[in-house]
Structure 1
Amino acid sequence: MRGQPGFFDVEDRLQRLSDLGDQLDAFARVVDFEMFRPELEAALDYSDRAKGGRPPFDPVLMFKILVIQASNNLSDDRAEFLINDRLSFMRFLGLGLADKAPDAKTIWFFRERLTRAGAIEGLFTRFDAAVREAGYIPMSGQIVDASLIAAPKQRNSDGEKADIKAGRVPEAWQSHPAKLRQKDCDARWTLVFGKARERDDGTRHADIAIPVFGYKNHISIDRRHGFIRKWDVTDAAAHDGAMLRRGLLDRSNTASTVWADSAYRSKANEAFMDAHGFNSEVHRRKPKGRLMAPNIRRGNAARSAVRAAVEPVFSHQKGAMALTVRTVGIARAKAKIGLANLTYNIRRLVFHERRAGLA
Structure 2
Amino acid sequence: MKAPGFFDIEECLAGLSKKGDVLEHLSRTIDFELFRADLERAVPRSNGAKGGRPPFDHVLMFKVLILQAMNGLGDEAAEYFMRDRLTWKRFLGLGIADPVPDANTIWTFRQHLTKASAIKGLFERFDAALREAGYLAMSGQLLDATIVAAPKQRNTDGEKAAIKAGTIPDGWQDKPAKLRQKDRDARWTVKYSKAKPREDGQPQVDLAVPSFGYKNHVSADRAHGLIRKWLVTDAAAHDGARLPDLLDKTNTASGVWADTAYRSEKNETFMVKNGFVSQVHRKKPKGKPMPDRTRKANALKSMVRSKIEHIFAHQKGPMAAIVRTIGKARAETKIGMINLAYNMRRFMWLERKRVPA
Fold conserved between structures, TM > 0.5: yes
Distance verdict in 2 for CA 1:35–1:4, change over 3 Å: closer
Residues 264-298 of structure 1: CA deviation (Å, up to 9, x unaligned): 00001001111110000000000111100000000
Q: 3-state SS of the aligned residue for 1:354?
A: helix
Distance verdict in 2 for CA 1:119–1:179, change over 3 Å: same
| Distance in 2 separating the partners of 1:4 and 1:189 | 52
| Residue 170 of structure 1: aligned partner | 169
| Distance in 1 separating the partners of 2:282 and 2:170 | 46
The structure 2 residue matched to 1:288, chosen from 286, 289, 292, is 286
| Residue 329 of structure 2: aligned partner | 331
Gapped regions of structure 2 (runs ≥ 5): none
| Residue 73 of structure 1: aligned partner | 72
- The aligned amino acid for 2:287 is G
TM-score, length basis structure 2: 0.96
| Distance in 2 separating the partners of 1:346 and 1:5 | 33
Instruction: Check conservation: 1:197, 1:204, Cα contact below 8 A.
Output: no
* Alpha-carbon distance, 1:6 to partner: 5.6
Q: 3-state SS of the aligned residue for 2:324?
A: coil
Distance verdict in 2 for CA 1:86–1:38, change over 3 Å: same
Give the number of equivalent residue pairs: 357
| Distance in 2 separating the partners of 1:358 and 1:190 | 47
Instruction: Check conservation: 1:153, 1:213, Cα contact below 8 A.
Output: yes
Alignment of 1:113-262 (within 5 A): 113-199=112-198, 203-245=202-244, 247-262=245-260
| Distance in 2 separating the partners of 1:137 and 1:313 | 18
- The aligned amino acid for 1:341 is N
| Distance in 2 separating the partners of 1:115 and 1:54 | 24
Q: CA RMSD in A?
A: 1.7
Residues 162-212 of structure 1: CA deviation (Å, up to 9, x unaligned): 000000001211100000011000000100112345446754122221110
* Alpha-carbon distance, 1:45 to partner: 3.0
Instruction: Check conservation: 1:219, 1:232, Cα contact below 8 A.
Output: yes
* Alpha-carbon distance, 1:326 to partner: 1.0
1:309 aligns with 2:326: no
Instruction: Check conservation: 1:196, 1:204, Cα contact below 8 A.
Output: no
| Distance in 1 separating the partners of 2:99 and 2:16 | 22
Instruction: Check conservation: 1:140, 1:255, Cα contact below 8 A.
Output: yes
Alignment of 1:53-64 (within 5 A): 53-64=52-63
| Distance in 2 separating the partners of 1:4 and 1:209 | 56
- The aligned amino acid for 2:339 is N
Gapped regions of structure 1 (runs ≥ 5): none
Distance verdict in 2 for CA 1:30–1:316, change over 3 Å: same
